Chains A and B, each alone.
Chain A
């Protein structure tokens, strides 16, 4: 399925979810240098769930841009660094900041900020007021990235 088709299919299934409240539904986090040391949800994520999430292009979008040690190599992107070995290159805290808000590290990056809801234009209805991934999902992804040592 084509990249936009993948996303279109998803759009029709995700209508439910937390309504955009008056207050930001996002949790606060603290950035130190180029990392976020503490897990967003106060406890570590689940690496196995993170692996499933990353491999699911419709949910996490990671493989639209990145390649890595995952099934279906021909359906992986060439727009971003290979995720193989990223857990050896970067610390857990550095990985967390990169998923949460890559543009703090590389201001001109095309990688979307996964935990942000403001400053966006014309977000389609099913996703309004929602970050690309929830705090729990981000912790799962980070827990898995840490294991990618080579």
Chain B
């Protein structure tokens, strides 16, 4: 084999090993299964058929907002990013990312609001507002079926670590940790609900219980309220760290946005 080819191979293998090592640690000790595998056949059909998936309404609205100029002077998202199908493909599969300016990770919603303040001269969109859910769903939808690929960024490590700690922390009057249900008891029934593995790959998603679209932060807050804990505020660092940990844990799973859940 030619020397350069051999070198390339070695470098490639080293890179591969690095990626595997970076993610292996986060792998849950069971086969990863999307929340979709725990829903009823009717709910699954809703998600899998775009013409009946209610979340697609938000995706369409997000596409409209993507092309719309913001405020009197701000450009549209499309003004900077062009066609989302190309520029936004794979983006959601890599989030949350590290933001050097704040020294903290931010999620996709945070990125959208950062673009608004930095490039569009517009106020942030409120958490769970139709606009923020629609834009986030539209951007995330561009990564549908692509595997979650957590970035190999050392600066994220302490935040992933904190996410992992929170995931294992007992919370609330009922005194349970996320891991108690989602690592150790998935597939069991909590009252009438099947416990999924808590993968964040379908968000924002349409939840039949909410009768609307909702963010991952809303979902996690619901679980906290379920154990009678004081939920972290929307936008709290802890929620982003939990998302960061969950995304590492879901490495390799396909993005499903917009998913449908019971």
Interface: B185 (CB within 8 A)? yes
Complex contact A123–B228 (CB within 8 A): yes
Does A5 count as interface, using CB distance less than 8 angstroms? Answer: yes
B193 CB within 8 Å of chain A: yes
Q: What is the CA–CA distance of A57 and B171 in the complex, to the nearest angstrom?
A: 19
| A57, A121, A130, most chain B CB atoms within 10 A | A121
User: Per a CB cutoff under 8 Å, which of B176, B190, B209 touches A5?
Assistant: B209
* Interface residues on chain A, size class: 20 to 34
Pick from A65, A113, A130 the residue with the most CB of B within 10 Å.
Answer: A65
Evaluate contact between B180 and A123: CB separation under 8 angstroms.
no
Contacts of B209 in A (CB 8 A): 2, 5
Given that A2-B209, A4-B225, A11-B225 are known contacts, is A123 also in contact with B173, CB under 8 Å in the complex?
yes
Give the chain B neighbours of A65 by CB distance below 8 A.
190
A123 in contact with B172 given A4-B223, A4-B225 (CB within 8 Å): yes
Q: Return chain B residues, CB-CB under 8 Å to A4.
A: 222-223, 225-226
Question: B73 interface residue, CB < 8 Å from A?
Answer: no
Q: How far is the CA of A63 from the CA of B189 in the complex (A)?
A: 10
Of the residues B173, B175, B191, contact of A124 by C-beta under 8 Å: B173
10 contacts between A and B (CB under 8 A): A5-B209, A57-B191, A61-B174, A64-B191, A75-B191, A79-B185, A112-B174, A123-B228, A130-B173, A132-B174
B: residues with CB less than 8 A from A are 169-176, 180, 185, 188-193, 209, 222-226, 228-231, 262
